[in-house]
Amino acid sequence: MTVQNMLILFGITLGLVVVACLVLMWLFYGNIYKFNNNPDTPAQLGLADIDVVNFTSEDGTEVKAWIKPPEGDAPVILYFMGNFTSIGPSVQTLQPFLEQGYGLAALVYRGSSGLEGEPSEAAFTADARSLYDQLDSLMKTPVSATDRLAFGYSLGSGIAVTLATERDVGGVILVAAYSRFCDYFTGRYYGLPFCYLMHKERYDSIDRINSINTPLLMLHGELDTAIDIRFGKRLFDAADEPKKFVPFENGTHVNILSEGLAEEVTEFYDTVIKQN
């Protein structure tokens, strides 16, 4: 085989490899978000005090949120749920806060819970900003910035971090958070370098966390096999004070919300956020 033919063969092989990689990444991006698309309603779940409201996002898309006004001087949780679920079960886990009079504004993600639309980091963060900006009218009562808590679980932690760098909030609460979303895929797929391969849907929280100028509470299960606690600690180490990290010895990715989390959040709110 001549050198010229070898170069041609190498070029063809390289081109096929590049095309194969692009196809694989295209397939990968199409399978990142795996929400439950059941059209939940508060009534089905016994959440009588919650209303479902429509609002317009930055790009003109009609999106939804589950809303409950606060009681008295209680704060409002701006909630961003995880993957592999829908809005109803996600809000149910917040029942201990609702029983204490906390307000709630839980974003319904595009492509989840019966809501049409294409899920993406850009769409979710735009919807989060729009929810924040329209919160007073949606709640039908003014809510000061200091009474707004950005609360993100798992996937939603990246949305909460981004929102807190772009809007004023009283505090940030992150549960089962990653440093970067691509780290999750690296841990899941045998160490493959997804942070080098992914050019979108990265949720680079670790690059944003030190821009948050408000109290930060992070909670993580030591038995979490979906997002290893080391990723949460890495994000926490990059954040500025005031901050607190709470590990749960028996906490997994799923049960952490029932491992005394509400008590930790309430104490942090009363002793740190309200005093800040």
Neighbours of 179 (CB within 10 A): 26
The pTM of the whole model exceeds 0.85: yes
Domain limits of the chain?
1-28, 42-273
CATH code for the domain defined by 42-273: 3.40.50.1820
Task: Convert the pLDDT of each residue in 178-209 to its tens digit.
Answer: 999 888 777 776 667 777 777 788 899 999 99
Residues in the chain: 276
Inter-residue long-range contacts of 118-121, CB under 8 Å, 24+ positions, other chains counted: 119/32, 119/33, 119/35, 120/200, 120/201, 121/158, 121/159, 121/181, 121/200, 121/201, 121/202, 121/203
The 10s digit of each residue's pLDDT in 256-275 is 878 889 999 999 999 999 88
**pLDDT of res. 157:** 97
pLDDT (tens digit, 9 = 90+) per residue, 114-131?
A: 999 999 999 999 999 999
- Rounded distance, CA 138 to CA 154, Å? 26
